[in-house]
Amino acid sequence: MQIIHLFWQQSSHEFNNSGCLYLWLEQAKKLNSSAAKQKHYYPYQAGEKVLSNWFTENFKHFLPNKLINKRMLPHAEIEALSVNLPCDQAKQPIPSPLIANLNDLNNSDYAGMAAFTLNTIKIEQPLAFLKELNFQSYYFADDLQLADDAKFWIKMATELSHMIKQDQYIPFIVAQKVKKKTYFYSQWQPLSAEYRQRLQQIAPLMPFSACLPDCALSENVQIDPLAVLQHFSEVLLNALICDTDYPQTLHKKLQDSFIENSLSLNQANISEQEWKSWRLWHNNLNYDQFGSPFYLCFRLNEASSSSGNDWSLEVLLQAKSDLSFMVNLADFWQEKSSKQAFFNSMLGSAIERNLLLQLGYACRIYPLLEQVFAQNMQQQRITITTEQAFAFLKEDAWALHACGYRISVPSWWTTSGRLKAKVKLRAAKKATAEEASGSSAATSYLSQEGLIDFNYRYAIGEHEVSAQEWQELIASKSELVHFRGQWVQLDPKEMARMQKLIESSQRDKRSGDLQDLLMMSANEEQYSVELDDTINAMLSNLKNREKLTLIAPPETLKAQLRPYQIRGLSWLNYLESLGMNPCLADDMGLGKTMQLISLLLHAPKQRAALLIAPTSVIGNWYKELQKFAPSIKATIHHGAKRTKQNDFKQLVADNDIIITSYGLIRKDKTLFKDISWSRLIIDEAQNIKNPTAAQTKVITSIKADSRFALTGTPIENRLMDLWSLFNFLNPGILGTRAAFRKEFEIPVQRDNDLHKTKILKNLVEPFILRRLKTDKNIIADLPEKVEQKVYCELSKEQASLYQSIVDEVEQSINETQETAEHKMIFLSALLRLKQCCNHPAQLLQDGSEFSVERSIKLQRLIELAGEAINNGESLLIFSQFKEVCDALQQLLKTQLGFNTYYLHGGTSRKKREQMIEQFQSENSPPAAFVLSLKAGGVGITLTKANHVIHFDRWWNPAVENQATDRAYRIGQQKTVFAHKFITLGTVEEKIDEMLEDKQKVADAIVGNDESWLSMLDGKSFIKLIQLRQQG
């Protein structure tokens, strides 16, 4: 695990206090080189060579271009810097949380700061670098991350970029006095009320690690975050301009003024008088930005009719302290004497002076405003022509806005309300031959070329216009026209372009498939899509899922669906019927499995379906199918004894669904590819996020009538992952990999192109259903507590150990007839079996590794915990065995880097209270709290967690519920999910079944603890513990 850190540092405390951005790589592996043995060397970081190579490889364009030796390739130079980092009492460093967890250092007590040496790389063009780093971060492997400080600077770079793109900075002169001589330096500085306000909001978010002063330069300097951001902005702004090549024409225009020196940041030859006149100018700009107590606001009132003879402009004064207070200029002028005290309280003391100044400036920008002064300021509005109104909307309003004036324009002018000239696309469904013959086989709207007739028309907003009208509008050359009761902006050039588009489309594409239609309707700017009733109903169903006709839950389903699950089922069914392949991406815990099982019941198919899932959930799928849909014949294709070759076809023929794991996809690919499946379902679809992986390629090539993807993690963040998923579900929708990269990936992820982002969102939205537990209408559907049984299989090792225990017990029982001895044998067997179900290492007690591979139960736990924590949720993990608790918390912390807490019988009262407080604190990050059932099952409140995992079972529901209630109690604001882990086919499953039946059995044999088990006779006991074969 490596973490990219970035910190800012002021390079000098002298007058020329420039600054640099430095990069360093923190890593989990402790360095052991000779350098690392030096005192104060920070051990959890990449060594010089590794860092230099890593940087050289990934950021070629940012290497210094001075070549010392022609034969030597450019490489990143390492600078060793001494900075203050947190440490414990023994002056040992405390790394960042993830690295600390991985090294089991999170319990180190923070004692202060100490100087450590870091290997760093000085970043040459910080703004360009931060943009590139942000782009690359979308492609990081799982073991590379950005630290919070790096994320902070990336965000800061976007803020600074925005300020620069808005020209919100001015020429600036710094005067320095050395002895009696004055020196002047001409440079640039941000001057924007908006930017300053942003910095004030952002400053408190800056991690301490984002700014590390050089210890060699000074000790104990204090950091002021706002000043750091200003310093950063000023240094980078000036460096950027200094590095920019300006043409001779500009140099000529600036020649002999101090601003010419600002281009190169040279010391300028400036007189005091010049400085003073610059300063006065600067102060005036500054006053304008920050000082005036009211805004001047210009409101455009639209003309009431097409004649356009009553457009008007209104001038209003708006109080900065209370934006709801606005007064028309003429009203103010009339009443300013009579209501002076009132106006002064709202608009400040020097209203007239401010007003005349502001109006004067505004007139410079927009001379038409001089009319305001006519008639002694007594007119409420200035009347203007349609052309003037258009010019105002198009240019002057924005010029005034950019200068700090407030603008109010009719709502139809705003982006959302604006009517635009568009291509109107009329789409109608074709009656197909298949439909006529009533064949229902695999009607895919997506791929049926010629399914939909396209008819292109001209439109203004939603209104259709004839080709002749369109021509007339283009010819009228007026850019603002009154059209069917509304004012509309027209761009004749754009309209002419659309005309061409229509003319060529009419030749080329008179019909197409749903995919074409979706692509065109995603581009709302250009197309206005009108559909015939059939297609309209279909598309509106896709877009407004709430309006989808609900189907009845299948009667054969042995469970109650929650309302949102019925919606999910209806949606899955609807998309499948259209031949569009859906992705169900509901938040964990909402029951994706159940929704899919319902679909299998609702729309049974002749041929079998193939379900691919991670090994850890195969058993759960099987068990849930059995439990909730016993009518479906399901089988697991997994393990060494799985069906091979020709028998596989028979297996498929005999079953409705075959469950297999991702791991087998490549091994058994010929088996899978030979079958034509009815449905291909992939669970935990993030497993195919890498489009080049062999596994992904095999999965996309398996033939099936319809495909489904289930995932609980958001998939829209990394566009490459999204593409890969769509390449499986609905290939073609997002184009080829290369086209997608050019069309969306780079514009969205590198250039932050909002238009493209929107089109992409429109394009994929119909295919993805993602609901969060926190959605309002989901909360209403969810009970406060949800109990879920999590079924896992035994690993091969566990199964054979389990069998040997059973054999041993059988033998011992046969050897002795004494009940008392049987009792002992039973209890010891039960204990060992439980241990075996948890993990072989627990059973063997041989110090062997508590590894994920050896226990599927453990595997599942880790996946669940990971999903919860990545989702920002905390969880409690209960086990009755201290050694399991020990091992679990160690694993979660040091291998996965999770934040963990651990409470067991030996925890001191003080420590316990401290932990609870910290865990519960709103500011603590999500964490896993491991508790031994005995020590943590009662008394305490841990409502920060909304997942409770019972890793092994205590055969007493009351005890388990009490443990669950640590989270499910007053103060809990979310639904609590209790996950009870059960290994399939084992004593765990069988006792669970008995518990479930307890209510049904009149004289319950199941008591409050395990003692009832010892009442059994030998035969019954063997029957109870015997391994039941699955699938």
Residue list 78-97, contact with other proteins (CB under 8 A): 85-86, 94, 96-97
Q: Which is nearer to other proteins, 376 or 1029 (CB)?
A: 376
Assess 356 for contact with other proteins (CB under 8 A): yes
Out of 147, 517, 561, 609, the residue judged to bind other proteins by CB under 8 A: 147
The residues near 420 (Cβ < 8 Å, ≥ 6 apart) are 460, 461, 488, 489, 525
Choose, by CB under 8 A, the member of 165, 180, 477, 507 that binds other proteins.
Answer: 165
Q: Could you say which of 53, 137, 168, 577 contacts other proteins (CB under 8 A)?
A: 168
491 scored as a contact of other proteins (CB under 8 A): no
Q: Which of residues 922-981 bind other proteins (CB under 8 A)?
A: 922-923, 925
Cα–Cα distance measured from residue 319 to residue 14, given in angstroms and rounded to the nearest whole number: 43
Query: Cα(364)–Cα(403) distance, rounded to whole angstroms?
Result: 11
Q: Kindly give, in sequence order, each residue whose CB lies less than 8 Å from that of residue 399, ignoring residues fewer than 6 positions away.
A: 365, 366
CB of 176 to other proteins, least distance (A): 6
φ/ψ of 344, rounded to 5, equals -60, -35
Q: How far is the CB of 360 from other proteins (least distance, A)?
A: 4
Of 331, 395, 472, 996, which one interacts with other proteins (CB under 8 A)? 395
Among 754, 780, 1005, 1015, binds other proteins (CB under 8 A): 754
Interaction residues for other proteins, span 782-801 (CB under 8 A): none
- Candidate list 350, 496, 537, 1004; residue touching other proteins; CB under 8 A: 350
Task: Return the amino acid letter for 1005.
Answer: I
For other proteins, the closer CB: 178 or 475? 178
Residue with tokens 């620069």: 164
Q: What kind and span of H or E run contains 299?
A: strand 294-301
**Which stretch, 183-191, 539-547, 630-638, 775-783, contacts other proteins (CB under 8 A)?**
183-191
Nearest-CA neighbor of 579 among 760, 701, 441? 441
Q: Would you count residue 17 as binding other proteins (CB under 8 A)?
A: yes
Note whether 193 and 290 are within 8 A (CB): yes
What span, in angstroms and rounded, lies between the C-alpha atoms of 983 and 987? 8
With both helix axes pointing from N to C terminus, report the angle between 126-137 and 225-242 in degrees, rounded to the nearest 10. Answer: 110
Strand order in the sheet with 79-87: 79-87, 112-122, 19-27, 2-10, 144-146
Tell me how many residues contact other proteins (CB under 8 A): 136
Is residue 146 part of the contact set for other proteins (CB under 8 A)?
A: no
Site residues for other proteins, 268-297, by CB under 8 A, read: 272, 274-281, 283-285, 288
Q: Are 232 and 157 in contact (CB under 8 A)?
A: no
Binding test (CB under 8 A) with other proteins, winner from 33, 89, 176, 540: 176
Looking at 370-378, 425-433, 463-471, 582-590, which segment touches other proteins (CB under 8 A)?
A: 370-378
Residue 393 in contact with residue 489, Cβ under 8 Å?
Answer: yes
**Residue 670 found at the interface with other proteins (CB under 8 A):** no
Name the amino acid, one letter, at 259: I
Paired residues of 326 in beta bridges: 318
* Distance, CA of 94 to CA of 87 (rounded, Å): 5
- With respect to other proteins, which residue has the nearer C-beta, 221 or 496? 221
Nearest to 711 by CA among 599, 588, 597, 614: 588
Cα–Cα dist 130/148, whole Å: 14
213/512 with CB nearer other proteins:
213
Classified as helix, coil or strand, 52 is helix
What DSSP string describes 350-391?
-HHHHHHHHHHHHHHH-GGGGGGGGGGG--SEEEE-HHHHHH
Q: Closest distance between other proteins and the C-beta of residue 489, in Å?
A: 10
Cβ atoms of 428 and 455 closer than 8 Å: yes
CB of 804 to other proteins, least distance (A): 46
Contact at 8 Å (CB) between 900 and 929? yes
Q: Out of 36, 114, 357, 1027, name the contact with other proteins by CB under 8 A.
A: 357
- Contacts of other proteins in 405-444 (CB under 8 A): 415, 418
Cα 960 to Cα 722, 786, 882, 937, distances in angstroms: 40, 14, 17, 8
Contact in structure between 314 and 328 (CB atoms under 8 Å): yes
The letter for the amino acid at 763 is: L
18 binds other proteins (CB under 8 A): yes
Shortest spacing between CB 692 and other proteins, in angstroms:
28
The 10 Å CB-count burial string (b at 16+, else e) for 421-459 is bbbbbbbbbeeeeeeeeeeeeebbbbebeebbebebbbb
Residue 759 CA to residue 735 CA, distance in Å, equals 14
Nearer to other proteins, 327 or 864 (CB): 327
Q: Mark 91-130 with x for binding to other proteins (rule: CB under 8 A) and - for no binding.
A: ---x-xx--x-------x-x--x-----------x-xx-x
Least spacing, CB of residue 998 vs other proteins, in Å: 46
Q: How far is the CB of 311 from other proteins (least distance, A)?
A: 19
Contact positions with other proteins (CB under 8 A) in 209-268: 209, 211, 213, 218, 221-225, 227-228, 230-232, 234-235, 238, 240-241, 244-247, 249-250, 253-259, 263
Tell me the residue length of the chain.
Answer: 1031
Under the binding rule (CB under 8 A), the answer on residue 186 touching other proteins is: no
Does position 543 interact with other proteins (CB under 8 A)? The reply is no
> Looking only at residues 887 through 926 of this chain, which bind other proteins when binding is defined by CB under 8 A?
922-923, 925
Are 136 and 93 a contacting pair, CB within 8 Å?
Answer: no
Nearest residue (CB) to other proteins, 290 versus 653: 290
Site string for other proteins, 298-337 (x = CB under 8 A): ---------------------------------------x
Applying CB under 8 A, which part among 395-403, 821-829, 855-863, 873-881 lies near other proteins? 395-403
- CB of residue 571 vs other proteins: minimum separation in angstroms? 30
Cα–Cα distance, 269 to 595 (Å, whole number): 76
CB of 120 closer than 8 Å to CB of 248 = no
Min. distance of Cβ 559 from other proteins in angstroms? 38
Which candidate, 597, 606, 544, 603, places its Cα nearest to that of 577?
603
User: Which of 114, 363, 772, 799 touches other proteins (CB under 8 A)?
Assistant: 363
Q: What's the distance, Cα to Cα, between the start and end of the chain in Å?
A: 39
Nearer to other proteins, 257 or 408 (CB): 257
SS3 207: coil
Identity of the residue, 169 or 955, whose beta carbon is nearer to other proteins in the bound complex? 169
Q: Which residue blocks in 523-584 are alpha helix, DSSP H?
A: 533-543, 563-577
Please say which residue, 126 or 589, places its beta carbon nearer to other proteins: 126
Does position 528 bind other proteins by CB under 8 A?
no
Q: Please, which residue, 400 or 856, has the CB nearer to other proteins?
A: 400
Q: Which is nearer to other proteins, 140 or 246 (CB)?
A: 246
Minimum distance from residue 361 beta carbon to other proteins (Å): 5
Single out the residue of 27, 119, 120, 187 in contact with other proteins (rule: CB under 8 A). Answer: 187
- Kindly identify the residues of this chain, within the stretch 680-709, that bind other proteins according to CB under 8 A: none
